[in-house]
Structure 1
Amino acid sequence: MAAIESFDGIYLDLSTSSGKCRFAETGLGWKPAGGGDTFTLDHEQIASAQWSRAARGYEIKILSRESRIIQLDGFQQEDHDRLSKIFKNWYSTVLENKEHALRGWNWGKAEFGKAELSFNVQNRPAFEVPYSEISNTNLAGRNEVAVEFSLPSDKNDTGTNGQLGGARGKGKKAGAGKDQLVEMRFYIPGTVTKKEVDGDDAGSDVAEEEKNAVTLFYDTLLDKAEIGETAGDAIAQFLDILHLTPRGRFDIDMYDASFRLRGKTYDYKIQYEAIKKFMVLPKPDDAHVMVCIGLDPPLRQGQTRYPFVVMQFKKDDEVTLDVNLTEEQIKEKYGDRLQSRYEQPLHQVITYIFRGLANKKVTTPARDFQTHRNQLGIKCSIKASEGFLYLLEKAFMFIPKPATYIAYEQTASVTFSRVSGAVSALSTFDITVQMKNGAGSTQFSNISREDLKALETFFKLKNLRVKNEIDEDANLLAAALRDQDMDDSEDEVVGTKADRGSADEDEESVDEDFHADSESEVAEEFDSNVETSDSSDAESGVDNAMDEGDGEEEEEERPKKKKKAN
């Protein structure tokens, strides 16, 4: 057998491009065909290997002694004997044949291995999930466990150095294809006994032995996938923090490379490298402060994504915190970014801890803008959702829901407009932010008219293209109001004349017969000479009132007129 065995067209850990795989007595290596990072594995690190059918042919799955999974796909069936001899003679390892279940059943048994979760159907694996690909898990229902998968920040990053998880690093396998599996749910009914869990034959009470199967699965996965750090390992811990997005109260456990949000229903583990923005925004009520954390990839809660986490704190809530690190550890790893003890308001302490551990810049509202009440947040709404708009140095930020971030450099224009037909049109206005390259627009509604001038000045200071449609509307509205006032005044004059004739008659005459006579003239109002008849009646009202005979004739003629009218 030659000192080196080579195979072409081999894919490493679901990589999008193939490469050359070489085996030698000292170990194995893989190099992409188009050039790039080379992956190597020493022969002493090989713990076991298995041969099975895979997507691109046949696959060798190697389990390292560090509990990492390395997948080499693309071998041919006739390569089996050759590779079996390589592993047996050079690595003292048996290349096991592993057949997968092909029935397509979705009901089976989950087994936890050293490096992966295997779903077996009739004692054959239907699929395997490496622990390195699992980012989070939650109890999604009474008998349901949701498993979320890691997503790489850069899909082109092959990560073949193998420092974390598999050969492509933690979460890098999921970035191999265009379509990515982001969540899987397991339905696990029933209970298990302590004897089944621990393999202990000693008898004990049944009540003590039984445990919900879904809880056992969840706890085991937290431990195996290393996403369930205990509070004792946390550098800092904050309890019962109010979150506006996602809604609820969460405990915050902060670790060296990640932090965890623990709620009653959902738990989240978030890497500090996923934090893209960190903003401290004072609420206009002068009593609260909101801390907004921008994440990429966002949090997932079922089908809902949360690209921003929004917390709310009271300004006067103070806390004393001792960081769970020695002075030497702080000085060696964090320098001046972290202190050993804090005695300050709670929102400031959390900000300092996040800035120290995540090493992220803290963003605050721009100093060049204040509302007419000397506040930094503008009360407004997006559609039916009320919130607060903040003008940062480089972007708009609306919170709490839907949390919206719009960079000034992505803004094509800003339009001030008034809602037509609105009752509050005179006291409020809207801002429409149009994005560049036809990326759509966002409208912030119901902004106080008193903030118009300050907003317009600030946008011009940021060199944003501003269009003010309110002045044009105001001129048109003023003209319309003037015309309406004139129309209203004419209507009042005509109405006064029509009402005044009968009013004058009522005031000057006390005779009921004359009153009936004045009512009989209503039928004549449809005549073209209505004013003439009214005025003549008004002039001769006294004489007619004294003439009782005329009144009687009018009383007799009235029903005749009604009959003619009918």
Structure 2
Amino acid sequence: MAEQSQTLAFGNIRGHGTSDEGSFKTNSELFGWKNKKTGVVTQHKKAEIQRVTLTRTGREYSLCVYLRKVGADGALEGEEYSELYEGFQEKDADALQKQFQNVYGKPCEKRRMATKGWHWGEWELTGKNLAFMVDGRTGFQLSMGNVRETLNPSRNELALLLKQSGKAELDKDQLVELRFFAPNKGELTEEEKEARDQQREERREKKRKEREARKESGEEVEDEEEEEEEEEEEEGGGTSIELLQEALGDVVEDPQQGEAGQAIAVLPDAHFLVPRGRYELQFFKTFVRAHGKTFVYNIFYKNITRMLLLEKPDGVHNSLVISLEQPIAGSHASNTRHKHLVCQFETNKEVELDLKMDEEALSKHANLERNMQGNPARIVVDLLNAMTGKSVTVSGEFSSVKNTRALRCSIKADEGHLYPLNKSLIFIHKPVIYVKYDDVLSIELSPPTQRFFEMTVRCKGGTEHEFQSIEKDELGGLMEFLKKRGVKVKGGEQEDRRAGRGAQPTFNQQELDDEDDEDDEDFEDEDDDFESDDDDDEEEDDSEEEEEEERPKKKPKKEKKEKKSKDKKSKKKDKKKKSKKD
């Protein structure tokens, strides 16, 4: 069939496996996609197209184009890779089939997605496109360009951590992690062994070419690389997960080997309270990696919103709190996400770290030196301050009756410490609660019991935090500190007075001595005298004396009770006399 120079355009198409929408266009010479959000345009020539598939996914179709680069001499170069475009309607499917068949000379094969609901199958890796096949049909496809890192939570698991584009929207969910699991079994099948050998052979061939290119450029090549290849050839076995990780290792860029480069500094032992465990802190140019025995967390500097260095009441430890804009996933078993990380350091410990930075980069940061010595908390704070450009908040001016910066309290059954800072409150460590004073509607202090009182923080939006079991002696100092910060405090002085602290009652001791002890118990209006403020005590004393002279005296309760009892007795006698007469 003759070639047709027809141009097709489709809108609201998601390209390159991302959620960004754009426009997809084809003509007689090339096809391309323009990202509506960023304005970036990607185009591919007709000669690069190897094969095309069109897959129905629910009510939409996805177009997968398999490509190879074309050299200056017209020869194909490199490995085959794929580009995925999603969001085509059913009416667009026929037009796309005709366009690729008639214009590009490539048949567009229609496929159907797997609908059996199975969660087990086989994987296929074509270039940088990973497909999960269920009974010969595609379960899902994933572009390796969207994978940030691969991890091994266990020997039989492989976790793919996905990149997140921009800020997470509140009304939309984002896929951040994908896990594969392979059960324990015996030896690999012949097909799996062939696939393993083929992968290793391709990897060795790739390394040979890289080594030859380096030799041609005059670069010295060590013989250790050849020895490592011989060791790989002698290795046998390997689970399905290990084979998949080996295959993905060539197409997923490791942040440690990518733009991040070599680790700037390494702190071998850091004790984390959230997430709990001991981790090795590795500082890179764009992120800090917390490497533990089971889990590995990459904390990107641009994701850090604030840092707080807090003194613990024991005087032996300091706590470093790192708040994140986007939470990181916790353990797979607990299914938790951490928005605040808490690391604990000893105050009397000292370490020494050598920074691997060039002189130009080192000169930009006044608080960094080639050889860092001192307390590990201070070194970590200096490194994070230099990498993020954010200042570190320290404990505020608040001081408890025990001369500490925090109050011991609890939230439900979880005990911890509450830090009243100059602009916020923070409770650590489980759960970590951070509240700015600007977001507080009011703070209510409950009447204290014999030993403790409670504090309820009501925030904008309806959120409430109730801190329990705060020692009674801290009530006055805490209330005064919060009022100085402009926080609306309810309860305050009245409850403080009932607890036996603060201002004295409005009546003086001489009046108490003049009155009868029995009268003190009989009168009902005595408690009204406790409703005045401290500054108005003397004025109210005078007003009360004048009111007592004007108003008539009330009869005591005892006289009223005696009259009532006499009336009842007389009534009973009258009833008995009437019954006798009858």
TM-score in same-fold range (> 0.5): yes
Residue 21 of structure 1 pairs with residue 24 of structure 2: yes
Confirm or deny: 8 A CA contact 2:56 2:111 kept in the other structure. no
Matching residue of 1:323: 355
DSSP 3-state at the match of 2:270 = strand
Q: 1:429 to 1:57 in 2, by over 3 A?
A: closer
DSSP 3-state at the match of 1:324 = coil
DSSP 3-state at the match of 1:209 = coil
Between stretches 127-136 and 95-104, larger displacement belongs to: 95-104
Matching residue of 1:516: none
| AA aligned opposite 2:312 | K
Report the CA distance between 1:402 and its aligned residue: 0.5
Report the CA distance between 1:119 and its aligned residue: 0.9
Matching residue of 1:77: 93
* Residue deviations 1:196-231 (CA, integer Å, cap 9, x gap): 423379999999412233344456556643346369
Alignment of 1:68-467 (within 5 A): 69-74=83-88, 76-84=92-100, 88=104, 100-135=113-148, 137-141=150-154, 143-155=156-168, 178-189=172-183, 190=185, 192=188, 196-199=195-198, 208-218=235-245, 221=248, 224-227=251-254, 229=256, 233-301=262-330, 302=332, 303-331=335-363, 334-336=364-366, 338-366=368-396, 368-418=397-447, 425-437=449-461, 439-467=462-490
Counterpart Cα distance in 1 of 2:230 and 2:321: 53
Matching residue of 1:526: none
Confirm or deny: 8 A CA contact 2:162 2:176 kept in the other structure. yes
Report the CA distance between 1:30 and its aligned residue: 2.8
Q: 1:287 to 1:179 in 2, by over 3 A?
A: closer
Q: 1:214 to 1:236 in 2, by over 3 A?
A: same
Unaligned runs of 5+ in 1: 157-174, 420-424, 480-485, 488-566
Q: 1:203 to 1:291 in 2, by over 3 A?
A: closer
Q: 1:393 to 1:95 in 2, by over 3 A?
A: farther
Counterpart Cα distance in 1 of 2:483 and 2:353: 44
Counterpart Cα distance in 2 of 1:394 and 1:126: 51
Please, which of 52, 55, 62 is the counterpart of residue 53 of structure 1?
55
Counterpart Cα distance in 1 of 2:87 and 2:291: 39
DSSP 3-state at the match of 1:351 = helix
Confirm or deny: 8 A CA contact 2:56 2:113 kept in the other structure. no
DSSP 3-state at the match of 2:131 = strand
Counterpart Cα distance in 1 of 2:341 and 2:248: 25
Report the CA distance between 1:49 and its aligned residue: 6.2
For normalisation by structure 2, the TM-score amounts to 0.67
* Residue deviations 1:292-311 (CA, integer Å, cap 9, x gap): 11123212123111111111
Confirm or deny: 8 A CA contact 2:475 2:496 kept in the other structure. no
DSSP 3-state at the match of 2:63 = strand
Counterpart Cα distance in 2 of 1:88 and 1:30: 20
Q: 1:217 to 1:228 in 2, by over 3 A?
A: farther
Confirm or deny: 8 A CA contact 1:222 1:228 kept in the other structure. no
Percent identical pairs in the alignment equals 26
* Residue deviations 1:395-435 (CA, integer Å, cap 9, x gap): 2111111111111111111112246xxxxx33332221111
Counterpart Cα distance in 2 of 1:58 and 1:407: 48
Report the CA distance between 1:47 and its aligned residue: 6.8
DSSP 3-state at the match of 1:298 = strand
Counterpart Cα distance in 2 of 1:295 and 1:377: 23
Q: 1:268 to 1:16 in 2, by over 3 A?
A: closer
| AA aligned opposite 1:41 | T
Matching residue of 1:11: 13
Confirm or deny: 8 A CA contact 2:4 2:102 kept in the other structure. no
* Residue deviations 1:432-472 (CA, integer Å, cap 9, x gap): 111123x2211122223333222212211111001135743
DSSP 3-state at the match of 1:43 = strand
Q: 1:182 to 1:381 in 2, by over 3 A?
A: same
Q: 1:296 to 1:106 in 2, by over 3 A?
A: same
Counterpart Cα distance in 1 of 2:243 and 2:23: 42
Q: 1:235 to 1:96 in 2, by over 3 A?
A: farther
Counterpart Cα distance in 1 of 2:276 and 2:20: 42
Please, which of 498, 501, 505 is the counterpart of residue 475 of structure 1?
498
Counterpart Cα distance in 1 of 2:103 and 2:287: 39
Between stretches 125-134 and 249-258, larger displacement belongs to: 125-134
Between stretches 402-411 and 126-135, larger displacement belongs to: 126-135
Count the aligned residue pairs: 448
* Residue deviations 1:496-546 (CA, integer Å, cap 9, x gap): xxxxxxxxxxxxxxxxxxxxxxxxxxxxxxxxxxxxxxxxxxxxxxxxxxx
Report the CA distance between 1:242 and its aligned residue: 0.7
* Residue deviations 1:90-115 (CA, integer Å, cap 9, x gap): xxx88666654444332211233432
Confirm or deny: 8 A CA contact 1:100 1:126 kept in the other structure. yes
Confirm or deny: 8 A CA contact 1:54 1:73 kept in the other structure. no
Confirm or deny: 8 A CA contact 2:82 2:126 kept in the other structure. no
DSSP 3-state at the match of 2:104 = helix
| AA aligned opposite 2:340 | F
